[in-house]
Structures are given as C-alpha cells and as structure tokens.
Structure 1
Amino acid sequence: MPKFRHQPTAPTRSQWVAPGAAIDAHRHDDHQIVYAARGVLAVTTGAGTWVAPANRAVWVPAGTVHAHHAHGGLELHLVGLSPAENPLGLDEPAVLTVGPLLRELILAYTRAPGDGSPARARLRAVLLDQLRASPQTPVHLPAPTAPALRALCAILHADPGDPRTLAALGREIGASGRTLSRLFRSDLGMTFPQWRTQLRLYRALVLLAEGTPVTTVAHACGWSSASAFIDVFRRAYGHTPGAHLARGGAEER
C-alpha cells in the first residue's frame, strides 16, 4: 500500500457500501472497530487480509494503513476509539467474534453518534466491556514476502480449487516442497494446508455474498463434496454456508 490518506480521527458512524466497492488505503491516529452487519467485509493491510462475515468484526489499531472491500452489499458500522483506549490490548489487526449483545451495542452506538449524553457514555462503557470479552478468531490470510511464496500464492489466488500438492506446485515455480513448507512457517506463520484452507474459506465467503449456490461454492473452492465444505465452514464461522447465504450474510436479529 504505497499511497494512502491520513485521516487523523477514526469516524464513528454507519454507512452503506455498494457490492464490490472499496474504501481506499488510509490510516487513523485512533483505533477502530470495523463491523459489517450485512455482507462480507475484507480489511487489507500490508501484512495481509482479515475477512469478516456478519458475526465477526475487525480490530484496526491506531496508525495501521488499511483498505476496505465490500463483498455483497455492506452495512458497515465503524467505531472510533482514542489511542489511549485499547480494550483488547492489541497492536496488530485481529478478527473478533460478535455475539448478539455486542452486535446490538455496535449498531446502537454507530446509528446515533455524537450526542454526548450520559446514556451514550454508559452505552460506550458496556460496549468496551463486551469488546474486552470478545474472543479472537483466526480469519486472517497473511500476505507472503518471499518471492517463491508470492508466485505460489498467486497461482492459488487465481484458482483456490487447484488440487495440486505443495510439491507439484513447487515444480511449476522451481522450488522444492521442503523449501516451500519451511517458508510457509517462517514467512506466514502457518502451514501450507492451513493457508490454503483460509484462502478457500475467504473465497467461499465472497462467492456466498454474491449469491452463489452452496454446492457450486464447495466445488469452486476445492472441497470434494458440499458436506465436507459445510463442516469446515461451520467450524470456522459458527453457522452453515446455507444459513449464511439465506440471510444475505446478515446475522438474524
């Protein structure tokens, strides 16, 4: 992200983002919680992409250059927090689980921002308490820096359903499977199967947000059957892809 805007204050508001639209790279002097009540949100930094369906939110620490991308129509809710307020104690982006109470707190806080009333102060205090208790979830697709990994990951980004082994992919780019396996651990902090599963889940969320049928998504993303895909998706996101598709990516109220 070589070019970006500097917007000192992170806004607190709700807004609609059209399908496929993006908010270009920028940074704030504040921390920010980014939550999509509908649609699938992708937040990209120089370190990779954090993907959040409607039961997840993304924590963006102060000073982090980031961009947003909407998959499906996005009902976006933004909560700005001063640099002195860090309820999570995190200095790197993270994906957080959004339970029913935290969801309603975020919606209420962002739909009527800035009135300065005691009631709003109490709402904010409860929101911060819920953020402190929110578990982190591993929905992060790290970006490679090693040239060999960049070449390999580009192949799989173009076709996440590519079934080839690491050794077979290595032969295409001129690197051994052993070398690539070591690079995945040292450069990305995960194994090749873990990274490929994250990529496939990311692509599945995007396709579901676009209204693609579950069976089509399963095969396009490399699962041998719809049932295998459903099992992995449920374990990752807490609900089935069919439920996600049926409600347009929005959590039930």
Structure 2
Amino acid sequence: MSPARAPSAGWAGTATAAPGLLAFTGAIGSAEPHAHAAVQVLLVLDGEVTLTDRHGHRRRTEAAIIPAGARHGLRAAPGAHGLLAYLDPAHPAGRAAGARIAAAGDADIVSTWQVAARPLVTAAVNSMITGPAALPGVLCSIGPATDTRGLPAVLSRALEAVPQLIDGPLPLSELAARIGVSADRLGHLFAEHLQLPFPAWRRWARLLHAIEAVRGGATLTEAAHGAGFTDSSHLTRVCHEMFGLAPSHLVHLVRPTA
C-alpha cells in the first residue's frame, strides 16, 4: 500500500489491516481520550509523544502496550513518528501483549504500559528496520502468550462464526445458540480470556470488518451497513470512541491508492 495522507490532526503515513490486526506507521497525531477493544502497541521512533491514563497521569513515552478497554489520551508534538498496532485480544500477538501487561502491574496506569513495552524499545534500538517492515519484528519482540493451551474450543468456534453473522444484530444469545452453549457461559469466556465484555469485542470486530470493506473500495455507508452498523454516523461514533479519531482520518489512511 502506498503512503496515504490524512487531511488533518497530524496523522500521515501507511496503514495496513489483516485478520485481527490494524497497524499504522508514519507521522503520529493527537487523539482525545478514548478506549478501544484492542490491545494497542505504540512505538515512538522519533519525536515526543505523551500518554495520559484514566487517572490523569501523564508520561512522555517511547513505547507502550495499552490493554483493551483502558481509557487513554495521546498528545504528539510536531514531527513525532512511530508505529501503532491494534491487536485483537483473541489473536496470539494480542494475548501475548495482554500477558505482558498483566505481569507488569496495574493495567490502568500508564507506567505499567511502559514497563510492559520495554522489549519493544530494545528491539527498535537493535534494528535498523523502520516503517511497515518493522512490524513483524516488533510483534515478535512481545513474545509468545504465556497460556500455551490456546483459547477454549467453545470460544474459538464463536470467533469463527462471527464473520458469517456480523452484518446482522449479532446478539450474544444468537451466537451462543449457534455453537450450542448458554449465553451466560459464552459471555463469561469473552470476559475471562479476552478481558472484554462481548459487546465491546463485537464493536471492534465490526470496525475491522468495515475498514476491510473500505480497503476493498466500498463507500463509508456501504462499509457501515455491511459491518452491521445502523449507518455511517453509527460507524463514526464507534470509530471516535475506539481511536479518538473520526473515520474520515482513519479511513483515508487505509483506502487503497492508485
């Protein structure tokens, strides 16, 4: 994908998407306080970036792993560049990142996010690779998930069924019935293994689906309807809640270029 230019907010770079992953490399802008249903990996390659947690603690940051559901704000000075990866909590890399946070301390505090990300700083210092090509090395530096057993079979089946149902209402009860388990049991598995309630994870899955549709040439309205959002305004609200950015910025970055 060729570099794309965001119309404002300081964001300008290259965005890539794959199952369970949305990654951005380039000039980093600012984002209002928000919380997303993904584990966020931040690596600052140049310039100054400050993170703020839900308690108001502020830290200048070289690298951070921010857990799913953690409210945070981002302020970037002009000239800041880096890499941001948004990982599905069900993805092996997302689970490994979540394990690092759990081992580092209080998951709500920005200093914990920095401690969890120390291997990323080492990987960046030891590597001359920058830009999108650096992403595999950064993800590898997070390490394997501590739980080598993988996700429970019931939860795995539920995740596999979501793409077939995502353009509809997708209530937890319907998904649970499809795989032959109670809604209470399935909801507990989402919270226990992905550290997210099902509705939050569903919003993340819908948003990734919409982004993939836009990458394929769909309009914002078409992508919204295909991902189960009521309309493009609904997609806009969710995008702003999860990324602190309007989709006009995010979508511009991931739209295919000629």
TM-score between both structures, scaled by the size of structure 2: 0.49
Q: Say which structure, 1 or 2, has more relative contact order (CA 8 Å, 6+ apart).
A: 2
TM-superposed deviation, 1:99 = 5.4
Deviations 1:118-163 (Å, cap 9, x if unpaired)? Answer: xxxxxxxxxxxxx9xxxx99x4312271111111111113442232
Larger radius of gyration: 1
Aligned to 1:140: 87
More strand by share: 1
Q: Which residue of the other structure, out of 167, 174, 197, is the alignment partner of 1:168?
A: 174
- What amino acid does structure 2 have at the position aligned with 1:51? L
- What amino acid does structure 2 have at the position aligned with 1:106? H
User: Using the alignment, how far apart are the partners of 1:241 and 1:97 within structure 2?
Assistant: 17
TM-superposed deviation, 1:201 = 1.3
Q: Percent identity?
A: 22
Structure 2: stretches of 5+ with no match in the other structure: 4-10, 30-39, 47-60, 92-150
TM-superposed deviation, 1:241 = 2.1
State the SS of the aligned residue for 2:170: coil
Structure 1 runs of 4+ with >4 Å offset: 53-57, 89-93, 95-100
Aligned length: 162
Q: Does structure 1 retain, via aligned residues, the 8 Å contact 2:45–2:62? A: no
Deviations 1:84-111 (Å, cap 9, x if unpaired)? Answer: xx94465999x99875537x3437xxxx
User: Using the alignment, how far apart are the partners of 1:89 and 1:164 within structure 2?
Assistant: 33
Aligned to 1:156: 162
State the SS of the aligned residue for 1:39: strand
1:194 and 2:169 matched: no
Q: Which residue of the other structure, out of 228, 236, 241, is the alignment partner of 2:242?
A: 236
Structure 1: stretches of 5+ with no match in the other structure: 1-16, 20-34, 61-76, 80-85, 108-130
State the SS of the aligned residue for 2:88: strand
Computed over aligned residues only, the root mean square deviation of the Cα atoms, in angstroms, reads: 4.2
Aligned to 2:232: 226
More helix by share: 2
1:101 and 2:77 matched: yes
TM-score between both structures, scaled by the size of structure 1: 0.50
User: Using the alignment, how far apart are the partners of 1:50 and 1:98 within structure 2?
Assistant: 20
